[in-house]
Amino acid sequence: MKKHTFYCSAVPFFLAFFFCQLLNAQAPPGDCEKDRIYLAGKKYFKNDKEYRTGLFGKYLKKEMEASPQAVIEFGKYQKNAKAATVVLMTGIALITAAVVVDDSDQQPKLGLATAGLGLLVVQTPIYWKSKKHFGKAFWLRNKALYK
């Protein structure tokens, strides 16, 4: 009976001790936490200060220099974001042209609108790909601080 009581009290104690050690092992060093970047919409925070990201992350490019891999991913983000924006604007222009064109024949209007909608559909995966690269660049940059 004494062994059973010992095991019933010792096992939870050792499990709690083990998990507390895991939590302590994952705690980041204090210096790295200061330089870490947090993203919130069109702004980012570093050292408890708020900064703007700029168009296509123009102001963030310098921050990404902490990691060479983050610079590569950030370049992919900028390339895909610019491509998605060009495709989006072209699609919107075609749809606007379809609405503005005043022609008795309905075929050109339908063709312009279809092409514009097609471009809007094509733009979506390019946009999501750019967002993936953006998130990965942030992750790599913050990860580089802990090495």
* 73 backbone dihedrals φ, ψ, rounded to 5°: -65, -40
**pLDDT score for 60:** 82
**pLDDT score for 4:** 53
Contacts 24+ apart (CB under 8 A), 104-113: none
Model confidence pLDDT, tens digit, residues 34-79: 677 777 777 777 877 888 877 887 878 888 888 889 899 999 999 9
103: CB partners within 8 A, 6+ apart: 109
**pLDDT score for 2:** 58
- Which of these, 91, 75, 95, lies nearest to 124 by C-alpha position? 91
**pLDDT score for 27:** 43
Q: What percent of the chain has pLDDT over 90?
A: 26
C-alpha–C-alpha distance, residues 104 and 63, integer Å:
55
Residue 20 has pLDDT above 50, yes or no: no
Model confidence pLDDT, tens digit, residues 124-138: 999 999 989 988 988
Cβ burial of 77 (10 Å; 0-12, 13-18, 19+) is buried
Model confidence pLDDT, tens digit, residues 69-126: 989 999 999 999 999 999 999 999 998 888 887 666 666 678 888 899 999 999 999 9
| Element containing residue 24 per DSSP (H, E) | helix 2-26
C-alpha–C-alpha distance, residues 28 and 24, integer Å:
9
